[in-house]
């Protein structure tokens, strides 16, 4: 028979394993923003090259969603979008908890930041978390409602995803800028600011180009899948269409370096064991 002390050790082993597992998991949350750095370009390129292989669209810069509009690449597009949505949600949650710890537990008693500023930054942090959750929801809608099948829901998801992601990025820049004055983990977010401005400008170019192409080609032609997927230089509105699609590709892929910045900040943060989830 086991001695009492041995029995106690056996009983503690599962608990010790859980503690070690959760501590390791906490220290590796930076893997989620890193996964977005890889998944976002994959989501654009894999369906695009598959669509070219099956001659489903014209080769020069279609809309990203059009690349995943038909089978078999539509399945890959949806799966990649779902993975991106999950990573966006988890990254947003972990980043929220990280900033909450920095704002509340780390600096509330230091006296370096006024109480009013702490409350303001805490509210901004909470608002940014809601924005990124909505953006993740929008991306799920994009992946599960193809532009070639249910246009309304697809564009609804696109609007939510882009608008709230841009707002989330802006909040992150704002919070990081203020915290950089007092916290060594939050450096001045120059790169994040440049990326956010570039993403916003690219989105504006996309909207303007798309709107002009709709006017020039006609509403019904634009939403005709056969026409839009095989748009060529001999047809009306092609140049504006090209400007719009390039703007969209730039806006989407600028999210990747933005999450590279978040990955760097979350990996550099060495107090995950103190953050309450």
Reported as a single tens digit per residue, the pLDDT across 65-103 is: 999 999 999 999 999 999 999 999 999 999 999 999 998
Report pLDDT for 5. 52
How many residues are there in the chain? 277
- Residue recorded with tokens 């409602």: 145
Report pLDDT for 3. 54
For 109, list phi and psi in degrees, rounded to 5. Answer: -100, -5
Q: How far is CA 19 from CA 5, 107, 110, 211, 266, in A?
A: 20, 27, 30, 54, 21
Report pLDDT for 121. 94
Ranges of each domain in the chain: 31-50+57-274
pLDDT averages per 10-residue partition of the chain, 277 residues: 51 66 81 98 97 92 94 95 98 96 73 81 97 98 93 95 98 95 86 98 98 96 94 94 97 97 94 87
Exposed / middle / buried, residue 262 (Cβ in 10 Å: 0-12, 13-18, 19+): buried
Q: How far is CA 168 from CA 39, 128, 239, in A?
A: 19, 5, 31
For 58, list phi and psi in degrees, rounded to 5. Answer: -70, 150
In Å, how far from its chain's centre is CA 277?
21
Question: Using an 8 Å Cβ cutoff, are 196 and 167 in contact?
Answer: no
Helix (H) or strand (E) holding 75: helix 73-100
Report pLDDT for 108. 60
CA distance 227 to 205: 22
Report pLDDT for 6. 53
pTM for the model: 0.90
């Amino acid at each position: 028979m086991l001695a009492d002390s041995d029995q106690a050790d056996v009983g503690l082993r599962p608990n010790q394993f859980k503690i070690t597992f959760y501590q390791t998991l906490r220290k590796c949350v930076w893997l989620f923003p890193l996964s977005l750095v890889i998944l976002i370009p994959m989501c654009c390129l894999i369906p695009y090259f598959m669509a070219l292989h099956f001659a489903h669209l014209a080769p020069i810069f279609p809309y990203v969603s059009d690349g995943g509009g038909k089978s078999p690449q539509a399945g890959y597009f949806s799966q990649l979008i779902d993975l991106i949505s999950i990573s966006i949600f988890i990254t947003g949650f972990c980043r929220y908890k990280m900033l909450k710890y920095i704002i509340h537990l780390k600096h509330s008693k230091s006296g370096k930041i006024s109480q009013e500023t702490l409350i303001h930054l805490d509210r901004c942090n909470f608002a940014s978390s809601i924005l990124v959750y909505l953006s993740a929801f929008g991306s799920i809608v994009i992946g599960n409602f193809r532009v070639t099948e249910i246009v309304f829901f697809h564009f609804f998801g696109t609007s939510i995803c882009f608008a709230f992601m841009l707002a989330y990025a802006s909040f992150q820049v704002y919070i990081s800028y203020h915290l950089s004055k007092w916290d060594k983990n939050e450096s001045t977010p120059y790169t994040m600011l440049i990326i956010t401005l570039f993403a916003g400008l690219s989105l504006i170019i996309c909207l303007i180009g798309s709107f002009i192409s709709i006017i020039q080609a006609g509403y019904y032609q634009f939403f005709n899948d056969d026409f839009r997927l095989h748009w060529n230089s001999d047809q009306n509105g092609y140049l504006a269409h090209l400007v719009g699609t390039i703007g969209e590709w730039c806006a989407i892929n600028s999210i990747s370096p933005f999450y590279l910045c978040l990955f760097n900040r979350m990996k550099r943060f060495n107090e995950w064991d103190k953050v309450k989830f």
